[in-house]
Structure 1
Amino acid sequence: MTSSADQKLSLGALIALVVGSMIGSGIFALPAAFGRTTGVAGALIAWSIAGAGMLMLAFVFQTLAQRKPDLDAGIYAYAKEGFGDYLGFLSAAGYWIGCCLADVACLVLIKATLGQFFPIFGDGTTPVAIFAASLLLWGVHFLILRGVKEAAALNTIATVAKIVPILLFVAVAIAGFDSGLFTLNFWGTGSLPDQVRNSMLVTVFLFVGIEGASVYSRYAKDRKDVGKATVLGFLSVLSLLVLVTMLSYGVMPRTDLAGLPTPSMAGVLEALVGRWGSVFISIGLIVSVLGNYLSWSLLAAEVIHSAAQHRTMPSFLAGENRNKAPAAALWLTNAVIQVFLILTWFADYAFTLALKMTSAMTLLPYLLVAAYGLKLAWSGETYAAGSRSRRIDWTRAALATLYAAGMLYAGGAKFLLLSALLYAPGTILFALARREQGAAVFTRLEWLLFAVVVIAAVLGLCGLAVGAISI
């Protein structure tokens, strides 16, 4: 039997969880994604805004880890503590479903990449691809059941393996960088504000996973490591994202970048070194996405397991096996992923839809974390009178809140309505948990919030029925 002490994670393992969660498929698609939306100027502005906004959120996570060490369930616990049981539940459920959708995106992309070499896998949603993805899904499931520490160790190895091809790309792109071409690509087409807005939407999914260390804070050997891992992991990933984006503008004309197939990083490297570069990046992509899939599987199960331990999810989800793995939560998580995976057969653009839905589902939890940091600094709780750090933390949390709210608005109504379609039926889990405790399901304000969620879900369902919303 594995002891609790054996399951504790070091600073390095926590950083690997952050980096491993954030680096997945997105970075390999950056050259084309930015090439289609903007030039160098718009990309610089977009990365500056997005980087600053998410850095403020990273600081909020760091501050909360230090000032509220008793809240060891991370992203979910902060929402519950600050805004009540139902919003806490929505944060946990939204983040959990977002993790499930991220895993679906990973599985589809792995099979789509293999489809470039083995046509039977097609775009990743053929019957054979779905069957193969299901085998991978349940293989990882039984790996995690062996214990969180073992799975986290494998995640650390996968994180190192996925960074190698990215660093090679950066090195080769620096060597082949053409400053004249970079200058020609400086301005994109259309108004600069529109270019920046469209580019900002590209960045949302790339930052999902910043909370990896916070979600696993109960496993940290030292609570102070949680905040350090969040900031260090974020800054490391941001540096790689900016380098990949900017260096690509010095390799190919922007119009050529825009036309590259996924993974577009492979096309850029092929332009520099030939066909082997494309094959190398494709292999790196598969390794990266496999590691990313493992990270999301760990995070998804941990969130609802922690929520069940804190009585916001039904108690059966708090169950652990002899290896201290959240077995019940893992079974439910992978059952949901399996259902989503089957549904990809009916979606026109399954990978893109999964990415955007992941962003939509995780932005609300981010907003609630930032708002709780703002509330804590505003009220002065845990701060000494006249503390300078309180003013600094308030400013950071206010900027993080504005950023998360702005990203929700920029994402558009479509994905908010589709999100409500998942939130509304998911509330059944909250009702079951409240009934277990013999408590009323909602307060008056929570009834009002639930009504808003149901109305949004009905609008989303009507939109799908009449074709106003497509998947």
Structure 2
Amino acid sequence: MTDNGKIGLGALTALVFSSMVGAGIFSLPQNMAEVAGVDAIITGWLITGVGILLLAGCFLHLSRLVPEMDGGIYTYARAGFGDLFGFLSAWGYWLCATIGVVGYLVVAFAAIGAFTDSPEQIWFGDGNTLAAFVGESVILWLVHALVLRGVKQAALINLLGTLAKSLPLLLFIALAYWYFDPQIFATNRTTQSLPTPFMEQVKNTMLITLWVFTGIEGAIILSVRARKRHDIGKATCLGVIFALVLYVAITLLSLGIMVRPDVAALPNPSMSGLMAHMTGMPGKVIMSCGLIISVLASYLSWILYSAEVPCTAAEYGAFPQVFRVKNRHGTSQASLLMTSITVQLCLVLILWTGKSYNTLVLISTSMILIPYFLVAAYLVKLAYQTQASLAIKLTGIGASIYGLWLIYAAGIESLLLSTTLYIPGLLIYFTTRKRQTRTYAS
């Protein structure tokens, strides 16, 4: 990064990688083994790998076809399909990011509970106890104060956190490769212990794989702060490739260490249980510490995204104008405050209802389906309007098909949930537009 507050390629790539590789990766072995067999998991990763690389390609091509558009998720949807769809994309993405950071706080304190809790005294539990609520709230407002000091400083801390959390993940892969038993893996492939049809198993992996890749758009969201415009698409693709290699390696290597039903029965974070199986308690402690560092680094990434989207949307008139006002460090105080207050309210609901991380994952992931599809659809529209190359057109079409597949795989319940959460946003949108109309008329 430079002294003018702009973010370089390394920090941009770290933001993309860190926002994707958060809490989800530490529970990935159990999450996948619970819903699918080995062949279905491999098929699911093949579909996801191709689809997510196509989506990364969309961000890469759009950052070069329309380099003047900052903010990505909102501006692409608005340019392609009008103000209303632009707002819905911004609202859906903001909710996804905000609810996601709540999940990060919850799972971080659940991991701390592994060190502090005992059968006689539960301090943090699943991250939904009073003690956890107090700790989560303290971190929330400390990070709020940090981001107020500027995105550059927050991005630098995130870069250091990304480096720190990568070490236990690489250690797990090295140990899993060493302990990998081809016979156990072969047994997992041939044993048909799931009554679910094969394609249903593949569908059941989709929201899990989408959740662990949510954050792919990080460099685009912060595009206005990039040192070089050319770095935006490059950081997106590099972050996706690094994350994809990690995810596939961890998932498949785990199925060569323990039989699938045993992996599916592990408590989360399941990587800690696998480490304990390989190395005993020291490995479990290392992995739990890695989870805490990973989650807090990802939390910082997502707070940056959450605060940036309403600010960008306000510059185009979709959000109230107060969100476009920035302090001397370039941070929208109103946008950040709205995000932090929403996170605090969600923490109150978690304490009150006793809900856990998995519930938050479902809600958060359901909100990102439409914004991702609109990005791909906009590339298709723009590619034909500008007579772009066949490769660019095929990238957009392929990513659009992947987006529709995700919506289908999510199921009717997720669609109904996301539709319900879009309603408050519509009230804000129409109120804002009405006020603007009155202002122009006067």
TM-score normalised per structure 2 = 0.94
Counterpart residue number, 1:26: 24
Of the three residues 111, 123, 126, the one matched with 1:123 is 126
CA distance in structure 2 between the aligned counterparts of 1:194 and 1:317, rounded to whole angstroms = 43
CA distance in structure 2 between the aligned counterparts of 1:21 and 1:436, rounded to whole angstroms = 36
Structure 1 consecutive aligned stretches of length 4 or more whose deviation exceeds 3 Å: 346-349
Counterpart residue number, 2:262: 256
Instruction: Note the C-alpha offset of 1:348.
Output: 4.9
Counterpart residue number, 2:11: 13
Counterpart residue number, 2:417: 418
Please state whether the residue corresponding to 1:159 is helix, strand or coil.
helix
Structure 1 letter corresponding to 2:373: L
CA distance in structure 1 between the aligned counterparts of 2:403 and 2:336, rounded to whole angstroms = 29
Counterpart residue number, 2:434: 435
Please state whether the residue corresponding to 1:116 is helix, strand or coil.
helix
CA distance in structure 1 between the aligned counterparts of 2:412 and 2:39, rounded to whole angstroms = 28
- Give per-residue Cα distances to partners, 1:414-470, cap 9 Å, x unaligned: 2222222221112233234323432799xxxxxxxxxxxxxxxxxxxxxxxxxxxxx
Counterpart residue number, 1:451: none
Please state whether the residue corresponding to 2:414 is helix, strand or coil.
helix
Structure 2 letter corresponding to 1:115: G
Of the three residues 34, 40, 43, the one matched with 2:41 is 43
Counterpart residue number, 1:269: 275
Q: Is the 8 A contact 1:14 1:213 kept in 2?
A: yes
Counterpart residue number, 1:360: 366
Are residue 192 (structure 1) and residue 198 (structure 2) matched? yes
- Give per-residue Cα distances to partners, 1:373-414, cap 9 Å, x unaligned: 1111222x2x4xxx5x2x111111111111112112221222
Counterpart residue number, 2:72: 74
Structure 2 letter corresponding to 1:374: V
Are residue 107 (structure 1) and residue 123 (structure 2) matched? no
CA distance in structure 2 between the aligned counterparts of 1:354 and 1:78, rounded to whole angstroms = 27
Counterpart residue number, 1:222: 228
CA distance in structure 2 between the aligned counterparts of 1:350 and 1:108, rounded to whole angstroms = 7
CA distance in structure 2 between the aligned counterparts of 1:297 and 1:397, rounded to whole angstroms = 29
Q: Is the 8 A contact 1:313 1:432 kept in 2?
A: no
CA distance in structure 1 between the aligned counterparts of 2:69 and 2:126, rounded to whole angstroms = 42
- Give per-residue Cα distances to partners, 1:163-182, cap 9 Å, x unaligned: 11000000111111111111
- Give per-residue Cα distances to partners, 1:313-368, cap 9 Å, x unaligned: 11000111111122111011111111111111243533111101111111111011
| Paired residues for 1:76-155 under 5 Å | 76-118=74-116, 119-155=122-158
Counterpart residue number, 1:60: 58
> Structure 1 unaligned runs (5+)?
442-471
Question: Mean alpha-carbon deviation: is it higher for 253-262 or for 414-423?
Answer: 414-423
CA distance in structure 1 between the aligned counterparts of 2:166 and 2:225, rounded to whole angstroms = 25
Structure 1 letter corresponding to 2:397: A
CA distance in structure 1 between the aligned counterparts of 2:275 and 2:129, rounded to whole angstroms = 29
| Paired residues for 1:373-452 under 5 Å | 373-379=379-385, 381=386, 383=387, 389=389, 391-438=390-437
Please state whether the residue corresponding to 2:4 is helix, strand or coil.
helix
CA distance in structure 2 between the aligned counterparts of 1:413 and 1:195, rounded to whole angstroms = 17
CA distance in structure 2 between the aligned counterparts of 1:343 and 1:286, rounded to whole angstroms = 22
Counterpart residue number, 2:176: 173
CA distance in structure 2 between the aligned counterparts of 1:349 and 1:132, rounded to whole angstroms = 17
Instruction: Note the C-alpha offset of 1:5.
Output: 6.3
Are residue 295 (structure 1) and residue 298 (structure 2) matched? no
Structure-2 change in CA distance of 1:440 and 1:192 (3 Å):
farther
CA distance in structure 2 between the aligned counterparts of 1:5 and 1:220, rounded to whole angstroms = 13
Instruction: Note the C-alpha offset of 1:40.
Output: 2.2
Of the three residues 342, 345, 360, the one matched with 2:351 is 345
Q: Is the 8 A contact 1:6 1:149 kept in 2?
A: no
CA distance in structure 1 between the aligned counterparts of 2:131 and 2:207, rounded to whole angstroms = 32
CA distance in structure 1 between the aligned counterparts of 2:398 and 2:431, rounded to whole angstroms = 36
CA distance in structure 2 between the aligned counterparts of 1:365 and 1:347, rounded to whole angstroms = 29
CA distance in structure 2 between the aligned counterparts of 1:110 and 1:439, rounded to whole angstroms = 47
Question: Mean alpha-carbon deviation: is it higher for 155-164 or for 121-130?
Answer: 121-130
Of the three residues 267, 285, 289, the one matched with 1:283 is 289
Structure 1 letter corresponding to 2:63: A
Counterpart residue number, 1:311: 317
- Give per-residue Cα distances to partners, 1:1-49, cap 9 Å, x unaligned: xxx9612111111101100110001110111112212232111111000
- Give per-residue Cα distances to partners, 1:248-307, cap 9 Å, x unaligned: 011111111011111100111111111111111001000000001101000000011111
Q: Is the 8 A contact 2:128 2:355 kept in 1?
A: no
TM-score normalised per structure 1 = 0.89
Please state whether the residue corresponding to 1:112 is helix, strand or coil.
helix
Q: Is the 8 A contact 1:93 1:423 kept in 2?
A: yes
- Give per-residue Cα distances to partners, 1:128-155, cap 9 Å, x unaligned: 2112111110010001101100000001
Aligned positions, number: 432
Counterpart residue number, 2:119: none
> Structure 2 unaligned runs (5+)?
117-121
Instruction: Note the C-alpha offset of 1:186.
Output: 1.2
- Higher RCO structure (Cα 8 Å, ≥6 apart): 2
Question: Mean alpha-carbon deviation: is it higher for 59-68 or for 217-226?
Answer: 217-226
